[in-house]
Amino acid sequence: MAADRNLVPHNFGPLQGVRIVSCGTGIAQPFAAALAAEMGAEVIHVEQPAAGDPYRASGLKLGADGAGVGSNWIQERRNMFCVTLDPAQPRGRELLMRLLARAEIWMENAPPGAMADIGLSDAEVLQRHPRLVIAHVSGRGQSDTDYLDGSGHDAIAQAFGGLMANIGFPDPQPPGRAMPSIADYLTALCALWSSLAALIHARTTGAGQSIDIAKYEVVHKHLGPTMIEFFQRGATPQRFGNKSPGAQPLDTFRAKDEWLMIAALREQYGRLCKLLGLDPMEPKWQHAAWHVNSPEGLEFDALFRRWVAQRTADEVARELGEIGVPCSKIMSSEECAQNPHYQARAMHIEWEDGQLGKVKGVGLVPKLSATPGEIWRGAVALGHDNDLVYGELLGLEPAEIDDLRRARII
pLDDT in tens, 287-323: 999 999 999 999 999 999 999 999 999 999 999 999 9
Question: Which of 42-56, 66-80, 176-190, 200-214 has the least mean pLDDT?
Answer: 66-80
Long-range contact set of residues 304-308: C-beta below 8 Å, sequence gap at least 24? 304/249, 304/253, 304/272, 304/276, 305/253, 305/254, 307/276, 308/253, 308/254, 308/255, 308/260, 308/262
pLDDT in tens, 63-109: 766 568 999 999 999 999 999 999 999 999 999 999 999 999 999 99
Q: What is the mean pLDDT of the chain?
A: 94
Task: Write out the H or E segment, with its range, that includes residue 387.
Answer: none
Residue 64 pLDDT: 65
What is the residue extent of each domain of the chain?
Answer: 19-222+346-406, 250-254+259-329
DSSP 286: H
Question: What mean pLDDT do residues 315-332 have?
Answer: 96
* Residues 86/409, Cβ–Cβ less than 8 Å: yes
Homologous superfamily (CATH) of 19-222+346-406 is Crotonobetainyl-coa:carnitine coa-transferase; domain 1 (3.40.50.10540)
- Say if domain 250-254+259-329 classifies as CATH 3.30.1540.10: yes
Q: 3-class SS at 133?
A: strand
* Residues 248/296, Cβ–Cβ less than 8 Å: no
Do domains 19-222+346-406 and 250-254+259-329 share one topology? The answer is: no
* C-alpha separations of 390 from 22, 220, 405 in Å: 15, 40, 12
- Using pLDDT thresholds of 50, 70 and 90, give the confidence band for residue 143: confident
